[in-house]
């Protein structure tokens, strides 16, 4: 019972904060641009609480799975001076991307806390090798700082592990910084192990810690933000190319399950997952999919290029189709989550 309660509270906190920050970005930039905001709501479904201030209704709704900022003229024709369509196209682009930008900022802020809670910052500089280390035998040396694996830059130490996990051939090309000079070590051989039917490379060396100063914490948090953002983009790419099977796609049920597991491990794992979720939401919302911010952004960019808006009826029709697609995708992901929970 206690674990279910902890999972529920942690999930409400994570979803609520991520959604609030996202919608707050839209809300603040809309107000800044002189656009009339009719409602600022957290959650979906029936209204639990609301109050009115000037022209805006502020509401909390029953289901903590979304939120919205309803603006005058956003989805219908309006001659009101505060209409969304009356604002300059640059301002409308700013309003559209602001939610995703706020999610990225939240991720960075949360990662500052995560890094600050660590006893030390993990570097990418080799400190020592385990006995009979294969990487040492193939050119890696103590003092080498790993800059890239297979040509892909490593922002944090976790990137090294992530790239090794993606490499199944048993070898990798490493770009390292040695005595102030960049060099490439080709076909470095690693020992491999197998887990869940897949092979992965074994890291056979230790790395130096980095002193935990305020500048280093901020730098590491920034690098972690870039690392997670790229990891999310690579995951989308792997899903589209078939590297990751579609049955691995997770929806709200899977996310709640992950939040429950993270919260049981402590505050730091929960905050790390929170940063991953908020950065993921920011990136996903900017994908050029109708009904998402990225879909609206496409229409606004076309308007800026053409110097005249796309007829609103076409945008509404495309967004409606996109909404149906997203509902179908969510249902599929939820089905995947439920089947994983079944014995």
**What is the block-wise mean pLDDT of the chain (343 residues), using blocks of 10 residues?**
78 90 95 92 89 91 84 80 89 95 97 93 93 88 93 90 76 90 89 68 87 94 95 83 70 79 88 94 90 89 88 79 76 71 63
Would residue 150 be called left, alpha or beta, if left means φ above 0 and alpha means ψ between -120 and 50 degrees?
Answer: left
For residue 90, count CB atoms less than 10 angstroms from its CB and return exposed for 0-12, middle for 13-18, buried for 19 or more: exposed
- Distance CA(21)–CA(72), nearest Å, equals 21
Quote the pLDDT of residue 163.
83
Strand, coil or helix: 312: helix
Quote the pLDDT of residue 103.
97
Q: Which two tokens stand for residue 220?
A: 């590491």
- Distance CA(159)–CA(124), nearest Å, equals 9
Q: Report CA Rg, the chain.
A: 23
Indicate which residue of 23, 72, 74, 136 is catalytic.
23
Distance between start and end Cα atoms, the chain: 20
According to CATH, where is 2.30.42.10 located in the chain?
121-210
Helix segments in the chain, DSSP class H: 2-32, 89-117, 134-137, 157-166, 214-241, 252-265, 267-285, 293-306, 312-341
Quote the pLDDT of residue 165.
75
Quote the pLDDT of residue 336.
67
186: annotated active-site residue = no
Task: List Cβ neighbours of 199 (8 Å cut-off, separation of 6 or more).
Answer: 168, 170, 192, 193
Quote the pLDDT of residue 146.
93
Instruction: For domain 121-210, give the fold.
Output: Pdz3 Domain (2.30.42)
Query: pTM, whole model, 2 decimals?
Result: 0.87
- Distance CA(74)–CA(37), nearest Å, equals 10
- Distance CA(150)–CA(172), nearest Å, equals 6
- Distance CA(223)–CA(216), nearest Å, equals 10
Q: What is the DSSP letter of 310?
A: P
User: Residues for the chain: how many in total?
Assistant: 343
Nearest to 123 by CA among 209, 206, 182: 209
């Amino acid at each position: 019972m206690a674990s279910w309660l902890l999972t529920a509270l942690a999930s409400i906190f994570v979803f609520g904060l991520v959604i609030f920050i996202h919608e707050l970005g839209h809300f603040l930039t809309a107000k800044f641009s002189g656009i009339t905001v009719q409602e600022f709501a957290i959650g979906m479904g029936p209204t639990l609480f609301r109050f009115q201030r000037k022209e805006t209704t502020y509401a909390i709704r029953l289901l903590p799975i979304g939120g919205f900022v309803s603006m005058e003229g956003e989805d219908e024709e309006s001659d009101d001076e505060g209409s969304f369509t009356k604002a300059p196209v640059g301002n409308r682009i700013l309003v559209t991307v602001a939610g995703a930008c706020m999610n990225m900022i939240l991720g960075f802020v949360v990662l500052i806390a995560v890094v600050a809670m660590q006893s030390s910052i993990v570097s990418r500089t080799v400190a020592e090798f385990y006995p009979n280390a294969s990487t040492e035998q193939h050119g890696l040396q103590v003092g080498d700082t790993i800059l890239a694996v297979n040509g892909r830059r490593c922002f944090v130490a976790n990137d090294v592990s992530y790239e090794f996990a993606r490499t199944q051939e048993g070898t990798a090309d490493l770009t390292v910084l040695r005595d102030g000079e960049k060099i490439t070590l080709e076909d470095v051989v690693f020992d491999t192990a197998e887990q869940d039917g897949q092979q992965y490379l074994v890291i056979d060396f230790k790395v130096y810690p980095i002193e935990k100063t305020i500048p280093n914490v901020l730098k590491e948090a920034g690098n972690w933000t870039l690392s997670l953002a790229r990891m999310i983009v690579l995951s989308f790419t792997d899903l589209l190319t078939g590297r990751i099977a579609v049955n691995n796609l997770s929806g709200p049920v899977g996310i709640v399950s992950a939040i429950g597991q993270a919260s049981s491990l402590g505050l730091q794992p929960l905050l790390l997952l929170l940063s991953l979720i908020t950065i993921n939401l920011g990136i996903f919302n900017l994908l050029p999919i109708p009904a998402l911010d990225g879909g609206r952004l496409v229409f606004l960019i076309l308007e800026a290029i053409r110097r005249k808006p796309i007829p609103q009826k076409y945008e509404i029709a495309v967004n409606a189709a996109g909404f149906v697609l997203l509902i179908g995708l969510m249902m599929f992901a939820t089905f995947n989550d439920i089947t994983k929970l079944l014995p």
